[in-house]
Structure 1
């Protein structure tokens, strides 16, 4: 009999386990991960950026968690000798419309207390000779790290404190009882006083398995990106992002340095036909069926068909993809787009077709399901874990988004 069981060995699930050990020393804790290794999906396939929080609404929980999370992540890396670098990020405006949006973003940076510098076109060329634009915001505190390495260090800490992590355990059934929760798998049953589910791409299925009524489904979006050759790995010393379009849910194609000295370009955001299919053309009939039978998916598709066509075109044509990159990095050529790779984002979509950009929890007497943990969940994982534990131990009942989390921008 365990005190707490956590489903999901990504960074949020492991952060919850660490927070539980901090709050309840001596408690028996077990983490169940269906893969043979931790961080195999969203955590291990993201861009590895430690975000500063410039995009988020001032005074919002998202902005607060991002700032706290960036500091906590860097502290954790320092304490555990994990390589990271605070290289900074440039948000580059390449036309008049983006310059106007940059003005609004600068105001948000001031309100959020973000350390930044506004660069003119000339100062941008001086700072980054390979980057072109009408101007830019330089966010000084943005960093890079390998979150899979962070997860392995978290796991070592959890196990050193007496926690148990079971890999290769796929949950097949969940039964909430009066005094415990029974979690079934092919390798046997686990009984725990309370359950926290941080299942990412499978979070809706785990919630349904537990008998919860939900009015959303997970829709997978593929983020496709390319690795640049070694000759272009130093094309910039910082991360290069476009000015985001507030009408779109994703940040656009960007240049990202990696902690191992490489450089990637991307991602785009195309509808995926397999939640865990990373090869191009992956198709899983169960995942497609889940979308096709969910009315909210079709409502979302009708609202976003124009951007969907554009993203699919970028996916199909490297020339179109390159055109997006060359807006701010004209030195890139078609031959520079090498070794295509992909990550998949778990996007919660409501029955009315709206995309969920906030945290989404479902909670009962003995279970808390994290149905949506929006970007930048990896950056913010440590304070998110503490927030989840607060909710769990306080026994707050919540059937949808917490009132304190509503209205937070993506």
Structure 2
């Protein structure tokens, strides 16, 4: 680990992680506060090289999650923001609709799913329960065993690359924002200056409150002497698969032990491409129902090996669910998952068995290993329960008196259907703020723009004490002159 260093410059907002969620948050902050500086650091050479680029690229309608969960709230809002942005900025997308299909036993499940959707308020996804015959009129390749289907009208697909590229352009074109690629965070420390100092420049006025963040650019430079240090007033940890590592590094400051650390579970989803018979002319996404005969539960761990389409109409199946475990050494755990990104041929057999339950005439020889993605999980395979998105907040002042699982202010209490250790919310913002986003998996892509919106309003209200409806000042695009000469040098 790098040794403590004095900061060389100060920024207002530092976003760690350049996936779709980090880009969305940085874009929202830069647009809202053009007079403040917003930085995004990403350890890869480009945006979205990890979870954000290895998923189904589905715009989820918001069918599955508990009514009072953040996943539902952010998916519904994010879905509409996604379609709006795609239309306004000509981002490739298509509202394909989706069929959730099942045999005779599935009717009760699908009726409950439709009833659940009806409870979701003004943004409730429109659905229609149809018979298997009606489903086959839409998709003739479906099995004769399909007796019922729920048609989701608002489901679609999007080019995740073009979406992220549009968010990157927002930041590149803003005078108050910077993106620094190929740069990894190596250390973060609370900076809590002596407020009794007579000279306010020493921090008595709060100007030095925040987090001292050290970063190293390029893999060739890894020694502590190569690290750059900056003071960030607000740090937003959106580093995805490694987000728990950032927060766990503060365990000793929080008075915790390694036993208190936030767990890291990784769920690998394998995808297969398909060329062949039995799936020609498919227009809808097709998702199988969970087998509710197995105790009638749906653990939200996977939506089954479903059929998705890309924007050229090509078919792919997946993801399945394959749990992988990190090494015991935290240092080795950082990128261990990269070794698992190859789809093993042995997965095709299991996927084929699952697919033929609803598309019986596909040819196994037409299935080919495609790509794999890794989901960040906060609970393991033995926990059959729902885990919501987690937004934790920590103040740089008085860190020793805070809890590791400390819910961000302004959020509702955890869903009654959710397992969460974040029972308590931080009372108020003191000093600098760190917001950590954990377990941002599906429907993270769909929710990304709503997450950016929510984090922006959270910071406005609870850090800047501003009214949530505050409009950006008229000097949009003006650089923060206090740091202008240092921003470009650091980048």
TM-score by length of structure 2 reads 0.69
Residue number in structure 2 paired with 1:243 = 289
| CA–CA distance in structure 2, aligned partners of residues 182 and 59 of structure 1 | 36
Q: Secondary structure of 1:378's match?
A: helix
Higher helix proportion, which one?
1
Deviates more, 1:169-178 or 1:265-274: 265-274
Which of these residues, 107, 115, 118, is aligned with residue 115 of structure 2?
Answer: 107
Q: Does 1:170 align with 2:193?
A: no
Q: Is the 8 A contact 2:278 2:360 kept in 1?
A: no
Alignment of 1:367 onto 2:376: no
The answer as to 2:380 corresponding to 1:358 is no
TM-score by length of 1: 0.82
In structure 2, relative to structure 1, the CA distance for the partners of 1:95 and 1:235 (3 Å cut) is farther
Match of 2:413 in 1: none
> How far 1:60 moved relative to its partner?
4.2
Tell me, yes or no, if structure 1 residue 392 matches structure 2 residue 456: no
Tell me which of 243, 265, 279 is aligned to 2:317. 265
Shift of 1:59: 5.1
Aligned equivalents of 2:277 and 2:346: distance in 1? Answer: 25
- Where structure 2 has 5 or more consecutive residues not aligned to the other structure, the ranges are 1-9, 193-208, 218-227, 291-296, 335-343, 396-432, 464-491
Q: Which whole-Å CA distance do the structure 2 matches of 1:207 and 1:174 have between them?
A: 9
State which structure, 1 or 2, has the greater radius of gyration over its C-alpha atoms. 2
- In 2, Cα distance between equivalents of 1:156 and 1:353: 41
Q: Could you say which residue in structure 1 is the equivalent of 2:76?
A: 67
Q: Deviations over 1:296-328 (max 9, x none)?
A: xxxxxxxxxxxxxxxxxx983533321110011
CA distance in 1, matches of 2:102, 2:383: 31
C-alpha RMSD of the superposition: 2.5
Distance in 1, matches of 2:328 and 2:280, equals: 42
1:329-367 alpha-carbon deviations (Å, 9 max, x no partner): 1121211211332100000138x9676611223322221
Contact 2:114 2:128 in 1 (8 A): no
CA 37–137 in structure 1, closer or farther in 2 if over 3 Å, else same: same
Aligned CA distance change for structure 1 residues 321 and 374 (closer, same or farther; 3 Å):
closer
The 2-side partners of 1:288 and 1:105 are apart by 43
Question: Which runs of no fewer than 5 residues in structure 1 stay unpaired?
Answer: 275-283, 292-313, 397-410
Query: How far, CA to CA, are the matches of 1:83 and 1:357 in structure 2?
Result: 31
1:9-408 superposed matches below 5 A: 9-58=18-67, 60-96=69-105, 98-112=106-120, 113-132=124-143, 133-162=146-175, 163-178=177-192, 179-187=209-217, 188-211=228-251, 215-229=261-275, 234-244=280-290, 246-247=298-299, 249-273=301-325, 286=329, 316-349=346-379, 357-365=387-395, 366-395=433-462
Q: Is the 8 A contact 2:96 2:155 kept in 1?
A: yes
Describe the SS at the equivalent of 1:379: helix
